[in-house]
Amino acid sequence: MASTQTLTNMILSVRRRANIESQVGFITDAEITEYLNYCLSDLYDQLVQAGGQPWYRATNTFVTSGSASAYPLPADFYRMVSVDIQLGGGLVISARPYMEAERNRFKWFYQGYFAGRPVFYRMLGGNINFIPTPTGAYSITLNYYPVFVPLAGAATFDGVNGWEEWAIWKAAAYCKAKGDEDAGYCEAQVSRLQERIDALAAQRDAENPERVHDTTAGLYPWS
């Protein structure tokens, strides 16, 4: 990921694409920033939705209290990737999501976290809830996609390989539309870049594509 661009440079690029370098009063930098943030958030969603090995990823680790089943999600949480539970001694298990209809299914099974036994989670509002309730102090790591943070000031955006041009041309189209000008050329560039992103975004590891994995439970919940 080596195509980091500053907000200032992207604003200038939008002005150049829309041919409005001198129209700073008609379309201000603040307005272009608004367009860019909307378009960059769209691009960010596309790269998250592409799947495969993620372009944007964060982790958050906390320790359970020994009595509560629900814990706050990180402030910048967007979408879950996976949940790791440290059992001690180097043992780690992956928690599985449970469906709403399964919320009571495993509560009677056992108490405590042990190797070879399943732990289930579900996001409830701003919290993550675990079944069964952890009865000790366990270190839990959430692997997740952070939310897109709107750019301001000296902020930068990583467009991976020039893919920020998608947002720049899209923002330029908004500028053209405000001036009652034809945005067709800008939209054509957006479409061209869209094809490029669609073809490449999910193929971060070209030699090792993602594999199909079994998402169904076996005879036992932990199988």
Cα dist from 2 to 154, 160, 163, 168, whole Å: 17, 6, 11, 17
Per-residue pLDDT tens over the stretch 115-141? 667 889 999 999 999 988 888 899 999
Q: What is the mean pLDDT of residues 91-114?
A: 78
Q: What is the mean pLDDT of residues 48-63?
A: 89
Cα dist from 72 to 38, 103, 207, whole Å: 27, 19, 38
Classify residue 73 as left (phi > 0), alpha (psi -120 to 50) or beta.
beta
For all residues of the chain together, what is the average pLDDT?
Answer: 88
Cα–Cα distance, 64 to 87 (Å, whole number): 12
| Reported confidence tier of residue 27, pLDDT bands at 50, 70, 90 | very high
Task: Select from 131, 110, 107, 101 the least CA-distant residue to 119.
Answer: 131
Question: Residue holding tokens 């996001």?
Answer: 123
Task: Select from 170, 208, 215 the least CA-distant residue to 46.
Answer: 170
135 vs 221, residue with greater confidence? 135
Q: Where along the chain do its domains lie? A: 4-53+160-200, 58-146
Please check the confidence at residue 111 and state whether its pLDDT lies above 70. Answer: no
Cα–Cα distance, 51 to 49 (Å, whole number): 5
Please check the confidence at residue 180 and state whether its pLDDT lies above 50. Answer: yes
Q: Determine which helix (DSSP H) or strand (DSSP E) holds 92, and give its type and residue range.
A: strand 91-94
Please check the confidence at residue 1 and state whether its pLDDT lies above 60. Answer: no
All residues at 6 or more sequence positions from 175 whose CB lies less than 8 Å from its CB, including other chains: 14, 15, 18, 20, 27, 32, 35
User: What pLDDT is stored for residue 218 in this prediction?
Assistant: 42
Give the 3-state secondary structure of 37-65.
HHHHHHHHHHHHHCCCCCCCCEEEEEECC
Specify the 3-state DSSP secondary structure of 186. Answer: helix
Q: What is the mean pLDDT of residues 40-57?
A: 89
Per-residue pLDDT tens over the stretch 190-220? 999 999 999 988 877 666 666 665 555 443 4
Share of the chain above pLDDT 90, in %: 65
Q: Which two tokens stand for residue 93?
A: 């298990």
CB 49 within 8 A of CB 42: no
Cα–Cα distance, 26 to 12 (Å, whole number): 15
CB 15 within 8 A of CB 35: no
What is the pTM (predicted TM-score) of this model? 0.84
| Reported confidence tier of residue 102, pLDDT bands at 50, 70, 90 | confident
